[in-house]
Amino acid sequence: MLKELSYVLAVAEKGNVSRAAEALFISQPSLSRYIKDLENRLGVQLFQRINNRFVLTYAGEKYVETAKKITDLYDSLEKDLSDIHEELYGRLKIGCAVLRMSYNMPTILKAFVNKYPNVELQLYENYTTKGLEDMLLRGELDLAIINPRNVPHLKYIPFFEEELLLVVPRSQSLTFKGVERPDCKYPWIDIRQLHNQPYIALNPEQSIAIRTREIFEENHVVPSTVLRVKSVESVFRLAEVGLGCAVIPESVIKIPSVPQPPLFFSFGSPVVKWTLAIAYREDTVFSNTAEEFINLVARTSESVQA
């Protein structure tokens, strides 16, 4: 179709088949035959032949008018597709845990939006890693910021590691159980000291809850659960006001809300770490925008951990 339009437009512009054929890099007989066959197929004459000149008929004028609109639309489409390829426009769907959206993502998202203001960034929050994994597997997300769990058909790019800490209210006797160790950033405590102690827990399907449950089982620890909540930040705030101990990622403690915050302890040998990764489906073909988002996450995390 586009070839047909370009042939007619070239003849109309040049007014001569020979010059049009030269511009189109085809032979003059081939172009003449093509125009004649097209007129026969359409059932109308597009050009009057006057000596060596091809002059548009009324039908030809209508054809050329519409042909220009079509080619302009196609040119616009090509530009839009080129812009998408160059990532001037597009869409990126990112999933993230509610906690991470509050603590880790604002700086990354600001840098991304500033660099790609025409990219539609769609953000999806979920309280559980499994919820985000399911969205990835259903194709509802391009990328997700989650704890890697080796789920089939998902791949991971680790980018951030931090400690899991035991938070102990100042009113509890556990505050005196910590010991200084050269390999620990915080006083170290034997996690078995948590046995029968008041404890604020996360819902059992959440990743941190799963990891802490494994640690408790390995060490035969059964804390006395006071409350279960969805939010890691809520767990921390409840520990802050003295309702019980809690296990949280280190990044959560950066914004205390009480005059005398609780005490924080490392635990485990080696100390327990918590890894974040960018997850994606194994069949994903990254766009340039997705790659830039991944690079921004990595660079920002490096500067935070430096």
Average pLDDT over residues 96-120: 79
Nearest to 268 by CA among 215, 306, 211, 195: 215
Residue 157, pLDDT above cutoff 90: yes
Q: Which residues contact 115 (CB under 8 A, 6 or more apart)?
A: 292, 296
Q: Alpha-carbon distance 300 to 275, whole Å?
A: 15
| pLDDT recorded at residue 228 | 94
pLDDT at 83: 58
Q: What mean pLDDT comes out for the span 200-206?
A: 91
pLDDT digits (tens, 9 = 90+) for 262-300: 999 999 999 999 898 999 999 887 777 888 888 888 777
pTM (predicted TM-score) = 0.65
**Which tokens is 4 given?**
């047909």
Q: What's the pLDDT score for residue 306?
A: 47
Burial of 260 (0-12, 13-18, 19+ CB in 10 A): exposed
Q: Catalogue all structural domains in the chain, each as residue range(s) with its CATH number.
A: 2-85 (1.10.10.10), 90-159+275-305 (3.40.190.10), 161-274 (3.40.190.10)
Sort 3 into a burial class: Cβ within 10 Å, 0-12 / 13-18 / 19+: exposed
